A and B are shown apart, each in its own frame.
Chain A
Amino acid sequence: GQNIDQPTEMTATEGAIVQINCTYQTSGFNGLFWYQQHAGEAPTFLSYNVLDGLEEKGRFSSFLSRSKGYSYLLLKELQMKDSASYLCAVRDGDYKLSFGAGTTVTVRA
C-alpha cells in the first residue's frame, strides 16, 4: 500500500507565505501531484513534479526530492481565495494515484 502524510491544518495571514509538506512511501514512483479543493467542490490540478527540484507557477511552487520521499507546495502572497484543502497525490508504479488526506489552509485577513 501507499503511505502519504501531510499536516491536517494550517493557518496564515493574507499576503504571507505558507509551505505545505508531504512525505510519501510508495511502491514505485511516477510523479507527484498537488491538487486544490475548495469546500464542496471538485479537486483541481495545481502542479506536477517527476524530477527533483522546484517547479514554479506564478504564486505557487512545488518541490520534490525523490531520495527523501518528500515534496512541498509553497503558496506565496496569500489571498483569501486560497483558503482551501490542498491534496498531495503520488502516482505509483501501476500509474494509479494515491492521495494524502489533505491539508486545510485557512487564510485570515
Chain B
Amino acid sequence: IAGITQAPTSQILAAGRRMTLRCTQDMRHNAMYWYRQDLGLGLRLIHYSNTAGTTGKGEVPDGYSVSRANTDDFPLTLASAVPSQTSVYFCASGHGESSTDTQYFGPGTRLTVL
C-alpha cells in the first residue's frame, strides 16, 4: 500500500524549461491538491481537483497547470520554469468536500530552478 507517491524526489531545472511533477494515489480519493511550501510562508494551494475531470485554481496558480484524467493521477506542469518557482511541492488527496475530510500528503518534490 503506497498511499501517495510523487516523482521525482528532487530536480534541478534550468529556467525556461518545461517540467511535469507527477502524483499518484491509490486510496480512491476523489479530491487531490498541489501545494508549494516556502520558508516562512507555509503551504500554499496551487491547484486542486474535486473529482476526476475537474480542476480549480488555488491561491498561487500562475505559471502552473494541472490535469485530472483519472482518479489516481494529478500531474502538475510548469510550462516555462522561473527561479521563483524554486520550492518544495507537495501533492495531497482526500475524500473531498466534507467537513470531516482529512488531507493526506505525499513525500514532496524539491525543485530548484536556476
- Chain A positions within 8 Å of B, measured between CB atoms, are 1, 4, 30-31, 33, 41-45, 48, 50, 87, 89, 91, 95-102
Contact = CB atoms under 8 A, between A and B. Distances in A.
B99 A50 contact: yes
Contacts of A102: 42
Interface residues of B, number: 25
A66 to B, nearest CB: 13
Contacts of B58: 96
A48 B100 contact: yes
Contact of A97 (B100, B103, B106, B107): B103
19 contacts: A1-B59, A31-B99, A31-B100, A33-B102, A42-B106, A43-B105, A44-B105, A50-B100, A87-B42, A95-B97, A95-B98, A95-B101, A96-B45, A96-B48, A97-B45, A98-B59, A99-B43, A100-B42, A102-B42
